[in-house]
Amino acid sequence: MSQITAADVKKLRELTGAGMMDCKKALNETAGDMDAAVDFLRKKGLSAASKKAGRVAAEGIVTTLTDGGKGVVLEVNSETDFVSKNEQFLGFANAVAKIILDQNPADVEALKALAFDDEHTVEQALSQLIATIGENMSIRRFQRVDVDGIAAAYVHGAGKIGVLVGIEGSVDEATARGVAMHVAAANPTCIAREDVPADVVERERSVLSERAIASGKPEAIVDKIVAGQLNKFYSEICVLEQDFVMDTDQKVGKALGDAKLVSMMRFQLGEGIDKEESDFAAEVAAQVQGS
């Protein structure tokens, strides 16, 4: 039996699109015979993923899972919204979230190498799911929190937006969940004004100052005007200074009392992915002409 090299595994992956561990197993099973390994993967239905790999997967689901002070928010993508409602797809996403919560992998690549069940890694399970359902899919990203307090989550729009917050100290579950709902609705970028990068503050200060001077305001009061407008700027981007959506008579910071919001994660499904624009009429015409 010839020695299986990393280059062999890479080549087989390029030929089939199957997962790394599947390719390694196929080469081992076929004594390093590349053609036989391709056939091995085809028989297992794993090489089907290669035909899907180039397709844009921007649909899917954002899901969350919490347990006391631990929590995870995860995005798993598919090509179509239809698949995001598939029970197998949802079951896979939920199972992966549990693995992340329990084992705390460093990143997506480390996650893929973890055991999904007694026979498969997460990467192998994903390849099988792609072959079974017939769409490209990917585990895009996740974040995990572990705090001395409570991790609260909220999912909006059947998985279109998922939020995870970590709160230290004593706070009731309803308030904690309310904060997660607030983050979903308001989409703040920072927790407190101290978290806003200095260059962002200075750029905003410069714009506000020039605007005040250009409007003819006396230089003696420009600084005071800018200070007031910066307070408004902070209230727009810092969650603790925003009116709480669950009780607009108080700020989020006040609603938390002595508890401290230490982490805030908001995933919006497909954000940042370049989606392919399709012309449905053209697609139908092409199919008719080709039939």
Do residues 183 and 165 lie in contact, with contact meaning Cβ atoms separated by under 8 Å?
yes
> What does the H/E/C string look like for 158-193?
CCCEEEEEEEECCCCHHHHHHHHHHHHHHCCCECCH
* Domains recognised in the chain with CATH numbers: 6-47 (1.10.8.10), 59-187+261-268 (3.30.479.20), 197-237 (1.10.286.20)
Which pLDDT does position 280 carry in this prediction? 45
Task: Dig out the tokens for 115 from the structure.
Answer: 């055991």
**Which residue, chain included where needed, has tokens 């307090």?**
149
Please calculate the CA angle 167-168-173 and round it to the nearest 5 degrees: 50
The candidate with the shortest Cα–Cα distance to 92, out of 145, 128, 141, 48, is 128
- The pLDDT value recorded for residue 274 is 66
* pLDDT of the residue at 291: 44
- Average pLDDT, consecutive stretches of 10 residues, N- to C-terminus, the chain (291 residues): 81 76 88 85 62 63 97 95 92 98 97 95 93 90 97 95 97 96 96 96 91 87 92 95 95 97 96 62 52 44
Q: What share of the chain is helix, strand, coil (3-state, %, to 5)?
A: 50, 20, 30
pLDDT at 46: 65
Query: In this structure, how many other beta carbons lie within 10 angstroms of the beta carbon of residue 131?
Result: 18
Q: Could you give the angle at which helices 20-29 and 6-16 cross, rounded to 10 degrees? A: 110
Burial class (CB in 10 A: 0-12, 13-18, 19+), 91: exposed
Assess contact for 24 and 3: CB atoms under 8 A: no
